[in-house]
Amino acid sequence: MSKQAKRKHHKHKKYSLPAAGSSPGLIFIDENALKPVIKLYKYNAELYEVKELSSLSNVAQIVADKSFTFWIEIKGYNSLEMFETLSSDFNVNKLVLEDITRTYQRPKFEEYEGYDFAVSRMLNLDENKELDNVQVSFLLTDNALFTLQETYEDCLEPIRARLRGGKGNIRIAGSSYLMYALMDIIVDTYFVILNAWSEDLDAVEDRLFDKPDKSVMFDTQMIKRNLIGIRRVVWPERDKLNDILRSDSTLVTEQTRLYIKDAYDHCIQIIDVVESLKEISISNLDMYLSMISNRMNEIMKVLTIISSIFIPLTFIAGIYGMNFAIQDPVTGKLLPKNMPELYAAHGYLYTMVGMGLIAVAQIIYFWRKGWFK
Amino acid sequence: MSKQAKRKHHKHKKYSLPAAGSSPGLIFIDENALKPVIKLYKYNAELYEVKELSSLSNVAQIVADKSFTFWIEIKGYNSLEMFETLSSDFNVNKLVLEDITRTYQRPKFEEYEGYDFAVSRMLNLDENKELDNVQVSFLLTDNALFTLQETYEDCLEPIRARLRGGKGNIRIAGSSYLMYALMDIIVDTYFVILNAWSEDLDAVEDRLFDKPDKSVMFDTQMIKRNLIGIRRVVWPERDKLNDILRSDSTLVTEQTRLYIKDAYDHCIQIIDVVESLKEISISNLDMYLSMISNRMNEIMKVLTIISSIFIPLTFIAGIYGMNFAIQDPVTGKLLPKNMPELYAAHGYLYTMVGMGLIAVAQIIYFWRKGWFK
Amino acid sequence: MSKQAKRKHHKHKKYSLPAAGSSPGLIFIDENALKPVIKLYKYNAELYEVKELSSLSNVAQIVADKSFTFWIEIKGYNSLEMFETLSSDFNVNKLVLEDITRTYQRPKFEEYEGYDFAVSRMLNLDENKELDNVQVSFLLTDNALFTLQETYEDCLEPIRARLRGGKGNIRIAGSSYLMYALMDIIVDTYFVILNAWSEDLDAVEDRLFDKPDKSVMFDTQMIKRNLIGIRRVVWPERDKLNDILRSDSTLVTEQTRLYIKDAYDHCIQIIDVVESLKEISISNLDMYLSMISNRMNEIMKVLTIISSIFIPLTFIAGIYGMNFAIQDPVTGKLLPKNMPELYAAHGYLYTMVGMGLIAVAQIIYFWRKGWFK
Amino acid sequence: MSKQAKRKHHKHKKYSLPAAGSSPGLIFIDENALKPVIKLYKYNAELYEVKELSSLSNVAQIVADKSFTFWIEIKGYNSLEMFETLSSDFNVNKLVLEDITRTYQRPKFEEYEGYDFAVSRMLNLDENKELDNVQVSFLLTDNALFTLQETYEDCLEPIRARLRGGKGNIRIAGSSYLMYALMDIIVDTYFVILNAWSEDLDAVEDRLFDKPDKSVMFDTQMIKRNLIGIRRVVWPERDKLNDILRSDSTLVTEQTRLYIKDAYDHCIQIIDVVESLKEISISNLDMYLSMISNRMNEIMKVLTIISSIFIPLTFIAGIYGMNFAIQDPVTGKLLPKNMPELYAAHGYLYTMVGMGLIAVAQIIYFWRKGWFK
Amino acid sequence: MSKQAKRKHHKHKKYSLPAAGSSPGLIFIDENALKPVIKLYKYNAELYEVKELSSLSNVAQIVADKSFTFWIEIKGYNSLEMFETLSSDFNVNKLVLEDITRTYQRPKFEEYEGYDFAVSRMLNLDENKELDNVQVSFLLTDNALFTLQETYEDCLEPIRARLRGGKGNIRIAGSSYLMYALMDIIVDTYFVILNAWSEDLDAVEDRLFDKPDKSVMFDTQMIKRNLIGIRRVVWPERDKLNDILRSDSTLVTEQTRLYIKDAYDHCIQIIDVVESLKEISISNLDMYLSMISNRMNEIMKVLTIISSIFIPLTFIAGIYGMNFAIQDPVTGKLLPKNMPELYAAHGYLYTMVGMGLIAVAQIIYFWRKGWFK
Ligand SMILES: [Mg+2]
Ligand SMILES: [Mg+2]
Ligand SMILES: [Mg+2]
Ligand SMILES: [Mg+2]
Ligand SMILES: [Mg+2]
Ligand SMILES: [Mg+2]
Ligand SMILES: [Mg+2]
Ligand SMILES: [Mg+2]
Ligand SMILES: [Mg+2]
Ligand SMILES: [Mg+2]
Ligand SMILES: [Mg+2]
Ligand SMILES: [Mg+2]
Ligand SMILES: [Mg+2]
Ligand SMILES: [Mg+2]
Ligand SMILES: [Mg+2]
Ligand SMILES: [Mg+2]
Ligand SMILES: [Mg+2]
Ligand SMILES: [Mg+2]
Ligand SMILES: [Mg+2]
Ligand SMILES: [Mg+2]
Ligand SMILES: [Mg+2]
Ligand SMILES: [Mg+2]
Ligand SMILES: [Mg+2]
Ligand SMILES: [Mg+2]
Ligand SMILES: [Mg+2]
Ligand SMILES: [Mg+2]
Ligand SMILES: [Mg+2]
Ligand SMILES: [Mg+2]
Ligand SMILES: [Mg+2]
Ligand SMILES: [Mg+2]
Ligand SMILES: [Mg+2]
């Protein structure tokens, strides 16, 4: 196995699970949790403001102003108090808070008294081409959207630019449209990742056709595994978008549903691409196996042709290398039946010709069988 | 790998995706977009006119005349203004316009306020036997049908001929019947493509039975992949036709639904053919693998028979080629136990007969094992 | 490949498809279409008459007599006028007439104004054991049944005998019962075909266990393909029978539905047999592949045992066949280190015994490894 | 192939099918049909009587006494009159009688006017470990149950014992409970059969791990096939029990439905075991194939090591076995460049040492490659 | 096969099934059943008491006090009287009691008059890394929960601690919440087991990439089988939780349903992990097979290169080892055509050079074919 292939084989990610039997609804703060960075975006058709907050303590008061839409962006979970404020001021269920902080949830959408809860999974290929998989949680009220994620990096900058720019629908379409816009950009990045893998697969396929070695097999298996990984995100994502479409939540506007339907279509297109790349991977692995078998056939043909031609000839040479004596060296007795060929005038010549004929016969035989291709 | 097989292995098509996070509903004009060519077909039972338009600007006015049916055929997307007219004059949703210009949509049917939107995928085998896959978008109103495609070529000429001819249903059955007729001809061309592949598969199958080499495997895999590609068009096409059937759109007449049901049947027949060809491909690949294994068996049998017969004989010849001396050449001491066979009167004869017997015994053994078939 | 296997590999059947874009509802008369033979069966509990008709022109008048049930049996499609009479006198939809004349329809059941339309597929093994697949179309009215097929041969004789005989339900149960009886006998012949294939599979299986060669693989693949072919008939047949059961057509009597349920059960039993035979085919192919691998193992064991025993012995014989001289023939110089074994009193004997020991040791080694089974 | 494996490979069972086109509802009496043995069980909480009847002629009268429950047990079908009595006295549909006498029905449940009809399949491993598969048909009325089977043997004795004993529910719970009890015992015997196969599979698995030969493959394939066979009984059995549960037949009491639900659970447990054993079979077959490949690797390693070491050495020995002469024997001319090694003082020694070094180098090479494990 | 692999191959667990035909609803007491240990937990927001009971005789009286919630924990089934008390005092159905004592039930939830019945399966990896699979049965009334299990060990201690601690919801949320808490902890332990297998799989994968031998195959197959085993628990567990969610049992409070939904999510996450690990197992087995084939290729290449180079050379050496005489030793007749090369001045040299050229040509040939990689 090449070093290269080995490098690509990395350990499966482990999540810190709750201790079995711990109380449900426990807010989980990891020991390495990052300090929370909270930003408040306040906007309507005319106005757009961004403010960094130190805590959520007076957000309830702020969002009471229904003439604005608010986006409260929370990154980093190292503050139990922050989650308790969500519970006390916004009546967020403890089970929801646990789902937010246990960041291995599948994409889902759930309706609660006064707010909706949703989960997306933000994927990103890091510099080693490994897949980062970050949970983004959404809490949606009538005029506010909370987004929560464990890490600082995200792929949401274009949305902020559109908010700042103030063009298009985004400043006037309310909190559910903002949630849609964020979910949509997350799904859009899946296309980017799939394009990268598709190019990898093309490159491996070139090697498969040019000079297949076992790295073709290892690399294809790794791509196939990545595809299986993304399937586990994208199928529940599709179900989630469908759940939003079918829900009768009053917090999701009719206009937003139209856009969600569009994101749902994108999600199905992604599923199409994933399934398609997976089938190409499987087909390439099948071809690789066939090519190994074919190559074995070729190796064996070389061995068999050479052995079959020379082993009988060597035997004949061996015959005439035997030392049966035509005269006993001790007694001088004549033994005229012992290898008289050796003393024939053209014995050597006839033998060489005979060998040549045997070789030619075999070559014709193998040629007829198509062994010389 | 043969050059031929390599030529067939082409890169996967890439679409220009929207930048992740771009505003939904953005009309996308590719830099290589073609100049739009717009044709207006105006017809009823008595009259049939075709006119080339330079823009859509007064189409809204034209189609207001409900005593005619109109077909507005748009080819080439290099005009933002044209799409904006669709938005302003015909109230077409921005998301729909995006779907029209992002030409990687799956076949689908959607109802909107005042119009229906549908997508078909026009397939065509180009001169290199590669599959062109062009999106045709439909906007259906009560007395008009807009069709939009990026390229100039199409397979719709027979419909124009029927319109011109004026026989049959087509001139009197309204805009939804025209949409059906166009969708139907697109689906009908799938049969043509499948027939071509079916013949390719037959040809490869002949080679499989006559003289299978690895091109059989490559070519079958390529056909199988093409089939997987067409499946991704034809299954959603079936769903689309079913959606039209089940929709309660008032724009699709009862009579048209009857015809759509017929196109739906054709679609299922195509699915039948696709699945069937796919199973034949898989079966051929399995046979090819069995044949490789069988051939390996045959190669090994040749090697084993020849080696097994001659290696022991060569050993015996080797024995009597040894130089053990019956008399020390230096001291002249007699060594009567050293290879007395060499000095026996019929040593050579007996040895040759013994070798012959061994060879015959082995041939009988292999023959009994069925190795000579 | 054996000639026999090649003979079984026949081209996939092609149907003459409508030209893409041709008007839907076009009646298709093949250039080789047979002259129509039309028979009219008129019967009730008391009376039974058969008459050959030259055209359908006054059938509408005849079937107006509601005190009889009529079976109009049409074979051969070479008469456009006949189909036009069906359209004009019986109000049969043009799309239905197209489905009747384009004889590649899947089994289906459709209700129309005043009549029901159904398709069955009549299968028959011809003398070469190839599958004939003939479309039989049914048009059912309240007291008449039209059956239409392209060819003259059929498997419906027993029904005619039962009509003639006049016993049982058939003379009094109306037109829908007659349609059931015909559909039932068509499905019953599938059992006959499956029994034939089951016996073929048994015969191939015997060869698999006795002396497997590659014809086992070819024949099993051919049977598997035939099974895949019949699946494509029998699954839609099941759906058709179910559609009749669930339909609220007034033309199908309650009593007939009971019988249709029985035919539906037969259809499921056939599906059971098909799936079962398919799994046996796959299992046999898997066994065949295992046996090839096993056989390769045996071939290699023979080669390895013989080579491993004799190659080292031949080497030893080669050693003592070397010509290192104990005395320089030219200078007469003594070279006492050069192969003194050759001049030892029992050199030959010891060498032979040593070779024997090596051979025995190897035989024990291979025997312990279980290579002699 | 071993004799043992061949013995296990038996022909697929054939049923005597109705002639295609025969009247539906024909009662089928096989030529080898057994003489009917009819037993009447009459019981309630207080009384229990068994009587052998010669015919069904006055059973209708007997079962009119609604203060008792009756079980009419019929074994052997050689009496057309008996079935005609069922038709005339109990109004049993002809199609039902056909299903009873054509004993290849799948498990099913059907409601008719005045009675319910059900089919179970009684499985039994005979002394050769082959599966007997006997159809048991049930006709259920409000206070009577008819059971019909072709053969005399059954597995229902424990039910008779419970009836005789009179304990438990069975004497008071009516005819539907009796039907449940019989169906339940039939399903329970499936567990017994699966346990036997599970033990067979364990035994084969032991051989797979200890000394795998091709009988492992044959035996596992046979078990897998048996499992596929039982699947075809147990899935429709599950559907049948579910049909009884969901039916609104007034003949099945609420209490009995509770018990049917319990039998349904057993059926699902059986399906679990079947699927599980099938997956183990497939896994064992995969392991067997891997082990064949591994063994081939080992055989080839032995061959390659021995050949690679000795073939070059034999070549060297061959070199010094050549007869190039240092002095022409005829002319006495000196040829000092011809094989002077042969006349060197330590030529033999150096050659032997050189050969030893080559062998050691190769052994190290192979050892490093891990070929000695 | 290594000893290690053999140790891992253990027999499939057998359950003691009821004798076929035994009365349904029979309470089954195994001969090795443990003495029952009964604990009564009585608690509300203020009070928490644990008491060990010797029998269930006056539990009915105790639980009549509706101001408390009761948990009656029963371990060990060796008391028929205990089950009879459940039947008489709590009206538990005999079929339920049978399901409790026949401990091979799948997870399920059933509603009865006055109580609900549920089954969970408690999994545990014992010290040999084998899976213990213990049935836990639940009987839920309005203010009491009975749990029953055959063995003494369990994984429920954290729940007892939470009850003692009195914090959180558990002391005030009633009997259905307690049932949820117990079910949840049982599902949570599945995560622990899957983590252990995931690590095993990682370790095997390391060996696959470093030095694959057949233990990789055996160990992966064992993990795959374990995964198939846990699938059979976790899919019905999911259905059970869903049944509770959808049921309209009044015994399960609205609040508890919210928590059950959370456990349902966990169950789906577990299914995700199981499917994912299974796909990785299959992928690793595929890679292992590819690697065996690759290795065979390498072995054969070594054999073929060495044989192909030296066999022809040995033949040439054999030629010049032949004893064709240039002068008859007896008659002294000159035979000048017999191997004059042997008496050429540079015969030996030319021969050696010729051999060298042949070897170099072959090496170049093999190198060009890429056989030296
Ligand atoms: Mg998955
Ligand atoms: Mg789409
Ligand atoms: Mg999509
Ligand atoms: Mg898809
Ligand atoms: Mg797919
Ligand atoms: Mg595939
Ligand atoms: Mg697809
Ligand atoms: Mg169709
Ligand atoms: Mg179709
Ligand atoms: Mg189909
Ligand atoms: Mg299919
Ligand atoms: Mg297939
Ligand atoms: Mg199919
Ligand atoms: Mg059936
Ligand atoms: Mg069936
Ligand atoms: Mg079936
Ligand atoms: Mg199946
Ligand atoms: Mg199978
Ligand atoms: Mg089946
Ligand atoms: Mg169950
Ligand atoms: Mg079960
Ligand atoms: Mg199951
Ligand atoms: Mg399964
Ligand atoms: Mg499996
Ligand atoms: Mg498989
Ligand atoms: Mg399962
Ligand atoms: Mg979840
Ligand atoms: Mg999950
Ligand atoms: Mg899943
Ligand atoms: Mg899955
Ligand atoms: Mg996989």
- Report the complex ipTM: 0.86
Give the separation between CA A129 and CA D121, rounded to whole angstroms: 58
pLDDT score for B4: 45
Give the separation between CA D70 and CA D47, rounded to whole angstroms: 11
- Asked whether residue E14 carries a pLDDT value surpassing 70, the answer given is no
Strands C69-75 and C144-149: parallel
Q: Which residue has the higher pLDDT, E220 or D125?
A: E220
In order of A132, E69, E352, the CA distances from E171 in angstroms are 41, 8, 97
pLDDT score for C15: 61
**Tens of pLDDT, residues B8-25:** 444 455 566 677 777 888
Identity of the residue in A155, A210, A308 whose CB atom sits nearest the CB atom of B20 = A155
- Asked whether residue A373 carries a pLDDT value surpassing 90, the answer given is no
Q: Does B329 touch chain A (CB under 8 A)?
A: no
- Asked whether residue A8 carries a pLDDT value surpassing 50, the answer given is no
Percentage of chain A beyond pLDDT 70 is 95
B313: pLDDT confidence band, cut at 50, 70 and 90? very high
Identity of the residue in B184, B280, B339 whose CB atom sits nearest the CB atom of C24 = B184
C neighbour chains, 3+ CB pairs within 8 Å: B, D
Contacts of A314 in chain B (CB under 8 A): 310, 314
E13: pLDDT confidence band, cut at 50, 70 and 90? low
pLDDT score for D6: 45
Q: Tell me which amino acid residue E263 is.
A: A
Q: In what order do the strands lie in the sheet with B144-149?
A: B48-53, B37-43, B69-75, B144-149, B131-140, B115-125, B108-112
Give the separation between CA C273 and CA C279, rounded to whole angstroms: 10
pLDDT score for D1: 40
**Tens of pLDDT, residues A62-121:** 999 999 999 999 999 999 999 999 999 999 999 999 999 999 999 999 999 999 999 999
Closest Cα to residue B117, out of B104, B100, B102? B100
Give the separation between CA B327 and CA B338, rounded to whole angstroms: 9
Name the 3-class secondary structure at D254: helix
Can you spell out the DSSP letters for C125-152? E-TTS-EEEEEEEEEE-SSEEEEEESSS
- The mean pLDDT of chain D is 91
pLDDT score for E5: 45
- Contact yes or no for A343 and E337 at CB 8 A: no
Q: Does A330 touch chain E (CB under 8 A)?
A: no
pLDDT average, residue stretch D266-295? 93
DSSP alpha helices (H): ranges in C75-140? 80-90, 94-101
Residue A368: which region, alpha, beta or left (left: phi > 0; alpha: psi -120 to 50)? Answer: alpha
Q: If you count them, how many residues does chain E have?
A: 373
Identity of the residue in D95, D296, D321 whose CB atom sits nearest the CB atom of C297 = D296
A41: pLDDT confidence band, cut at 50, 70 and 90? very high
Taking CA–CA distances from C7, the nearest residue in chain B reads B209
Give the separation between CA E185 and CA A22, rounded to whole angstroms: 8
What is the value of pTM for the model shown? 0.88
* Neighbouring residues of the ion ligand 15, judged by CB less than 5 Å: C 268-269, 272; D 106
Distance D100 CA to ligand 15 centre (A): 15
Q: Which residue has the higher pLDDT, C48 or E13?
A: C48
- Asked whether residue E217 carries a pLDDT value surpassing 80, the answer given is yes
Can you spell out the DSSP letters for E6-73? HHH--PPP---PPPTTPPTT-----TTPPPPEEEEEEE-SS-EEEEEES-STTHHHHTT-TTSEEEEE
Identity of the residue in E18, E211, E295 whose CB atom sits nearest the CB atom of D297 = E295
Taking CA–CA distances from A301, the nearest residue in chain E reads E304
Identity of the residue in E9, E228, E322 whose CB atom sits nearest the CB atom of D276 = E228
Give contacts of D 26-55 with C, CB under 8 A: none
**Tens of pLDDT, residues D154-176:** 999 999 999 998 877 899 999 99
pLDDT score for E20: 72
Which ligand gives the minimal distance to the CA of B98?
2
- Contact yes or no for A185 and B20 at CB 8 A: yes
**Tens of pLDDT, residues D9-47:** 445 555 667 777 778 888 888 888 999 999 999 999 999
**Encoded tokens for C106:** 């899947």
pLDDT average, residue stretch A165-177? 91
Distance A271 CA to ligand 4 centre (A): 5
Contacts of E272 in chain A (CB under 8 A): 106, 232
CA angle B327, B332, B337 (to 5 degrees): 25
pLDDT score for D5: 45
pLDDT score for B167: 79
pLDDT score for D12: 52
Q: How far is C65 from chain B (nearest CA, A)?
A: 31
D213: pLDDT confidence band, cut at 50, 70 and 90? confident
Give the separation between CA B315 and CA E239, rounded to whole angstroms: 73
- Contact yes or no for C21 and B158 at CB 8 A: yes
- Asked whether residue E273 carries a pLDDT value surpassing 90, the answer given is yes
- Asked whether residue A1 carries a pLDDT value surpassing 70, the answer given is no
- Asked whether residue B34 carries a pLDDT value surpassing 90, the answer given is yes
- Asked whether residue E365 carries a pLDDT value surpassing 70, the answer given is yes
pLDDT score for E26: 85
- Asked whether residue A5 carries a pLDDT value surpassing 50, the answer given is no
Distance D156 CA to ligand 15 centre (A): 26
Most confident of B205-214, E210-219, E277-286: E277-286
Cβ–Cβ under 8 Å, residues C40 and C53: yes
**Encoded tokens for E161:** 């601690």
Task: Using 70 as the pLDDT threshold, list the residues of chain C that sit under it.
Answer: 1-16
pLDDT score for C1: 40
D114: pLDDT confidence band, cut at 50, 70 and 90? very high
Distance E140 CA to ligand 26 centre (A): 28
pLDDT score for C35: 95
Contacts of D24 in chain C (CB under 8 A): 181, 184, 259, 262
Helix (H) or strand (E) run with residue E344 in it: none
A neighbour chains, 3+ CB pairs within 8 Å: B, E
Q: Does C23 touch chain B (CB under 8 A)?
A: yes
Q: How far is C123 from chain B (nearest CA, A)?
A: 18
Q: Does B298 touch chain C (CB under 8 A)?
A: no
**Interface probe, candidates D295, D319, D341, D371, chain C, greatest C C-beta count within 10 A:** D295
**Encoded tokens for C309:** 């025993």
- Asked whether residue B173 carries a pLDDT value surpassing 60, the answer given is yes
- Contact yes or no for A325 and B342 at CB 8 A: yes
Distance D66 CA to ligand 28 centre (A): 57
Chain D and chain E share a number of CB contacts under 8 A equal to 181
pLDDT average, residue stretch E57-70? 95
